[in-house]
Amino acid sequence: MAERAQARVELLDLSAIEQMAGKIREAGARPEMSEKVRRWRDKHPAVPDDLDGFSFALVGDSLMYLHRAPDGMIVPHTWYADGTEKVYTDLPHAEMAYEGQA
């Protein structure tokens, strides 16, 4: 398993997060996606293999998935081939995560 690096956080409003989550869900539900994701992950060992999420999908050359915050909010994540991660959230959830509450 790869060591986790610190994620970059991009702040968005809730409507943008919901729209992004919907697109990831839609892409992740395509029948061929699980095999594509498996092959991508095999090629990119810098990405941890124990990601806690759902609706995994390839978007371009990035692995995207959804994670549920403790309060139920859906949080989109992106992993890039180099092992870097980006998390898309709103300001209140970013502040909770920074304070160690989320």
Position 10 scores a pLDDT of 95
Question: Does the residue 45 lie in any domain?
Answer: yes
Instruction: Please state the domain count of the chain.
Output: 1
Rounded distance between C-alpha atoms, residue 76 and residue 70, angstroms: 14
Residue 41 belongs to a domain? yes
In a domain, 1, yes or no: no
Residue 31: predicted pLDDT: 96
In 3-state terms, what secondary structure has residue 14? helix
47 within 8 A of 20, measured Cβ to Cβ = no
Distance (Å, rounded) from C-alpha 24 to C-alpha 13? 17
Give me the domain span that covers residue 92. 8-97
pLDDT digits (tens, 9 = 90+) for 42-98: 999 888 888 889 999 999 999 999 999 889 999 999 999 888 999 999 998 888 776
pLDDT at 1: 35
The answer, yes or no, to whether residue 3 has pLDDT greater than 60, is no
Paired sense of beta strands 85-89 and 74-80, if any: antiparallel
The larger pLDDT score, comparing residue 4 to residue 67, is at 67
pTM: 0.86
In the predicted structure, residue 101 carries a pLDDT above the cut 70 = no
Helix (H, G, I), strand (E, B) or coil at 99: coil
Does some domain include residue 88?
A: yes
Contact 17, 87 (CB under 8 A): no
